[in-house]
Structure 1
Amino acid sequence: MHIDDEATFNRAGSVRILGAPWGDSSRRGRPYAKDPSVVRFQGRYLMYFSLPSQDDDRAEGWSVAVAESDDLVAWNTIAVLPAFGDYDATGAAAPGAVVIDGRVHLFFQTYGNGRDDAICHAASDDGTVFTANPQNPVFSPTGAWTCGRAIDADLVVAGDHLLMAWVTRDPEMRIQMVGTARAPLGSAYGPEDWEQLSVDGPALAPELPWEQECIEAPALRWDGTTFTMFYAGAYNNRPQQIGWATSPDGRTWTRGSDEPLIPAGRDGEWNSSESGHPGYLRDHDGQEYLTFQGNPDDGRTWYLATTRLEFDGPDPTVDIV
């Protein structure tokens, strides 16, 4: 579903978006799509996103869905992934997709298990039909600083490794934080393949006033020298906004700015309640994009939209209206 008035909604605060925001209305009868991860695969764009349960009051039943597009604006849902086993029977969400050697590798979280939620892995030759990793779940963090939960995985190929950023909470389940891990490229990406890089503490934890108690939804970029992580600060609709950080090694991260790169929109705009959960794409022509979620009604609806990225050295900029 598209918002009809593109002229009204064709901006995110001061950030221009491509076309009109989009949401899938198949489950709740209103636009509702979250947590985008976009790849270009076999000549079209595929977006992996979180599709909610049928009932507003039901926590179980979230799914990972797949939509396709020719232009990053008009999307059509083409698949909903089934549960792969007991581990994701209550739900799955927050997919992170990466193309490796002509296959889509999808990393997603189990949903509804609290501290026991973990990262799982599946792979596909066509982008829609996936075979689950028999070792699922493949990653949960360890250490005194974390509750052991892992959600919101995102990945990027860097040399001979696959770097994964993931999200956890402190032992009291109050503060949301980002950690990183890596696995050898071409491995099974099972539990024994991941080296946790965030051993003694998080890669990023909330520090700035606008981040409140939450850093989540990492989206990774690698240019051959520097990693960039786009991230969401603050829990949903408080408002969540998008910042960025850089790292030379995937372990140690430095914020690029004290202010959000993509703020929540102004009153009356499609993302006035938040701009959140980014997904990064480098297209086949070198153009770079962020797709992110937003809504104007404290989460009754959820839309997804895409903005162009440019880089001045390591610093990202977005298209200003």
Structure 2
Amino acid sequence: MTPAPTVRLLGTPWGDTSRRGRPYAKDPSVIRFGDRYLLYFSLPSASDDEPEGWSVGIAESDDLVSWHTVAELPSFGEYDRSGAAAPGAVVIDGRVHLFFQTYGRGREDSICHAVSDDGVTFTPNPQNPVFRPTGDWTCGRAIDADLVVAGEWLLLAWVTRDPTMTTQLLGTSRARLGSAYGPGDWEQLSVDGPALAPELPWEQDCIEAPALRWDGERFTMFYAGAYNNAPQQIGWATSPDGRTWTRGSDEPLVPAGSEGSWNHSESGHPGYLRDDDGREYLFFQGNPDDGHTWLIAGTELTLVGGVPTVSSTAAD
């Protein structure tokens, strides 16, 4: 039997050790900003027994291989006092716009927004929280924001659950560039139902963690199927308008790793980067121990005829 291909990584998977004394970093969003790369990620609470206290960490690199943490987002108000997580960063007119979710509020979790001139120090949107979905198909929760500029619009992909809080679902909204990106600026595109709902066996009860790409004609979305360590794996879908989405394959683009690999428990929560030189990358989280640790790694991404492949090598 031919060995299954394994994802060729940019470097050694990385995790911040400052909170729990072991590598732990989730939910990557990577941008090129000036002469460096910035990674926005979820930092855990201080211990496994403290559910509150998650925050957004910021790491930097000059080569997409070696990362070190340089800052973390402070609490901005009562709305994110119990925690923040799952950042999505986008550069607009030389400024970093960071969208993140409140953490630990259940159905009340919402998307918030902050802006920075240096990528590290942020000013919150005075209208925070800026987005929660409406409709009888959703519980009203909003998490896992990701964004991409497309023409005169900023497309936002987000995640919610059904009214029973059982099934994780994905939706989209848009706002005009140059708006305040406040609650009144978002047009919800997923009105009568989700943009994507779990359908394939490997997706189980969860579609989450969108990562958006726009090529001028078509959107591509990388997403995570199944809840953490179920295992979570990465699929992809396309859309002509950001509203209607079609899966590109019935199989994961980035599956969980084989026994003994760093991502045996999952390959999850993707983040997309197109660099200044046109090369493209997919970052994702993984772990080998059912979430005792969490690591982030990147791989080069190639699209031919709109079909993505990740850099891979034959397993030993």
Q: TM-score band (shorter)?
A: over 0.9
Matched, 1:264 2:256: yes
Which residue of 2 is the match for residue 6 of structure 1? none
Residue 13 of structure 1 deviates from its aligned partner by 6.1
Matched, 1:63 2:55: yes
Q: Could you tell me the TM-score, scaled by structure 2's length?
A: 0.97
Which residue of 2 is the match for residue 15 of structure 1? 7
Which residue of 1 is the match for residue 26 of structure 2? 34
User: Secondary structure at 1:304's aligned position in 2?
Assistant: strand
For 1:1-321, list aligned pairs within 5 A.
14-321=6-313
| Distance in 2, Cα, partners of 1:29 & 1:167 | 30
RMSD (Å), alpha carbons: 0.8
Query: Contact 1:13/1:263 (CA < 8 Å) preserved in 2?
Result: no
Residue 58 of structure 1 deviates from its aligned partner by 1.1
Residue 164 of structure 1 deviates from its aligned partner by 0.3
| Distance in 1, Cα, partners of 2:39 & 2:268 | 16
User: Secondary structure at 1:210's aligned position in 2?
Assistant: helix
* Distance of aligned partners of 1:118 and 1:190 in 2 relative to their CA distance in 1, 3 Å threshold: same
Runs of 4+ in 1 over 6 A off after TM superposition: none
Question: Where in structure 1 are there 5+ consecutive unaligned residues?
Answer: 1-11
Report percent identity of matched pairs. 78
| Distance in 1, Cα, partners of 2:65 & 2:233 | 21
Question: Where in structure 2 are there 5+ consecutive unaligned residues?
Answer: none
| Distance in 1, Cα, partners of 2:207 & 2:172 | 13
User: Secondary structure at 1:192's aligned position in 2?
Assistant: helix
Residue 313 of structure 1 deviates from its aligned partner by 1.2
Deviations 1:76-127 (A, max 9, x none): 1000110000000000000000000000000000000000000000000000
Query: Contact 1:13/1:265 (CA < 8 Å) preserved in 2?
Result: no
| Distance in 2, Cα, partners of 1:251 & 1:57 | 40
Query: Contact 1:118/1:137 (CA < 8 Å) preserved in 2?
Result: yes
| Distance in 2, Cα, partners of 1:188 & 1:316 | 34
Residue 15 of structure 1 deviates from its aligned partner by 1.2
User: Secondary structure at 1:39's aligned position in 2?
Assistant: strand
Query: Contact 1:13/1:264 (CA < 8 Å) preserved in 2?
Result: no
Q: Could you tell me the TM-score, scaled by structure 1's length?
A: 0.96
Query: Contact 1:166/1:180 (CA < 8 Å) preserved in 2?
Result: yes
Residue 42 of structure 1 deviates from its aligned partner by 1.4
